[in-house]
Amino acid sequence: MMKRRQFLAAVGGSMVCWHSPNLLAMPIKRPKLVWVMLRGAMDSLHAVLPVADPSLMDHRRGLLKTVKGQATPLERGFALHPSLKTFAELYRQKQLLAVVATSSGANTRSHFRAQDIVESGYNQADADSGWLNRAVEAYQGESLAVAHSLPISLRGKHASQTWYPDHFMESSEDLYNRLKYLYDGDEQLLNSLINGLETQAQLGNMANDKRQQKFANLALSCGKLMQAENGPDCSMLELDGWDTHQRQVYRLDKQFTELDKGLAALRQGLGEQWDNTAVIIATEFGRTVAENGTGGTDHGTASALFLAGGAVRGGRVYGQWPGLKKAQLFEGRDLMPTSDNRQWISALLKQHWQLNDVQLNTVFPQISPMQINLIR
């Protein structure tokens, strides 16, 4: 049976799980960073369509017949999937850019192995050390994972925090006052309760919303927590469901809509802090260039990376395009990678957080940052 002290601690800590006492001391104007991990391998050729490549329709006539004519034109002969309306708006406002034909750094088509490598940031995964944790440590900042447990990206030496909506029924003000009375002699329990109540107040009781697990709600909560005076410097969000072996057209319409609403909600939650924020959106690998026999695509190699936010110098499509002719494909089936995500993220960390070369080498060893201005 759970002891009374354990139960009271669980109630006090259910609203938020802060692992670092330094969170309250952060100034509001420090540059913010949000890392969004798309789990399941997003099909970049369905997100950022290379409509100017004459070989595209040879590989994907069935997948693109209802999408190509509705896509939002970008520069360099690319177009954005029509469900990415907020992405398109931010691109027009020069607050979003896309990087095409980029690799995650994972030389595998296994989802779990690739995700571990992406989150670790090393050539071989280290489940106890994440690239974002090492970056935050170099920056001497505070971080938050919107997740049930701490993802690999934020594991490491530097203390991080986790938050996720609880599933308890709404409690009364009288209960909270009674808990404060009971905790009066225990500083740790009292601080846990107070921090939880402050977080609940910041989110306007969103933790009790029946739609709490929707990505947009999580992103809105994330933004509100970050824009608060005591908010963290960076956060991590996750969205799964990108493994589209079948019925890709229908499934990606829904996925892109959910991702798009999430980015809009994050911007709303951040408020004025949006102008001070860079958002990184990436996946573990891409998908095959050719559609399969079940209206989908299979595990591939190169994909796309998005950078968004008021701090981003957007309105551009970067990345060397390798072409989609059979002889130009990786192993005769995949989009050929021409850059590494870590090169772009490293450049962003250097420009946005002002990390030096020594610090960057601890985040992504032996990776040279792109020499392109990504931040305003």
Judged against a pLDDT cut of 90, whether residue 326 lies above it is answered with yes
Regarding beta strands 72-73 and 79-80, do their DSSP bridges make them parallel or antiparallel, or are they unpaired? Answer: antiparallel
Judged against a pLDDT cut of 80, whether residue 55 lies above it is answered with yes
The identity of residue 19, as a single letter, is H
Quick one: what percent of the chain has pLDDT higher than 70?
80
Judged against a pLDDT cut of 70, whether residue 260 lies above it is answered with yes
Judged against a pLDDT cut of 80, whether residue 35 lies above it is answered with yes
Helix/strand/coil (H, E, C) string of 159-215?
Answer: CCEEECCCCCCCCCHHHHHHHHHHHCCCHHHHHHHHHHHHHHHHCCCHHHCCCCCCH
The 10s digit of each residue's pLDDT in 209-246 is: 444 459 999 999 999 999 998 899 999 999 999 999 99
Which 3 state secondary structure label does DSSP give 44?
Answer: helix
The 10s digit of each residue's pLDDT in 263-278 is: 999 999 999 999 999 9
The 10s digit of each residue's pLDDT in 162-173 is: 999 875 444 445
What mean pLDDT, rounded, does the chain reach?
A: 87
Judged against a pLDDT cut of 50, whether residue 10 lies above it is answered with no
Mean pLDDT of the region 119-148: 97
The pLDDT-based confidence of 66 (bands split at 50, 70, 90) is: confident
The pLDDT-based confidence of 41 (bands split at 50, 70, 90) is: very high
Quick one: what percent of the chain has pLDDT higher than 90?
77
Mean pLDDT of the region 65-90: 96
The pLDDT-based confidence of 68 (bands split at 50, 70, 90) is: confident
Judged against a pLDDT cut of 50, whether residue 109 lies above it is answered with yes
Residue 4 CA, chain-centre distance (Å), reads: 38
Confidence (pLDDT) at 204: 53
Confidence (pLDDT) at 209: 45
Confidence (pLDDT) at 164: 92
The pLDDT-based confidence of 14 (bands split at 50, 70, 90) is: very low
Judged against a pLDDT cut of 60, whether residue 206 lies above it is answered with no
* Residue 18 and residue 195 in contact, taking contact as beta carbons nearer than 8 Å: yes
Mean pLDDT of the region 310-316: 98
Which segments of the chain does DSSP mark as H helices, in order? 4-13, 44-47, 56-64, 85-92, 111-120, 131-139, 173-183, 187-202, 215-227, 248-270, 341-352, 357-363
Buried b (16+ CB within 10 A) or exposed e, 12-29: bbbbbbbeeeebeebeee
Q: What is the DSSP letter of 75?
A: G
The pLDDT-based confidence of 194 (bands split at 50, 70, 90) is: low
Delineate the domains of the chain, giving CATH numbers in brackets: 31-165+213-363 (3.40.720.10), 171-209 (no CATH)
The pLDDT-based confidence of 15 (bands split at 50, 70, 90) is: very low
Give 5 or 292, the one with higher predicted confidence: 292
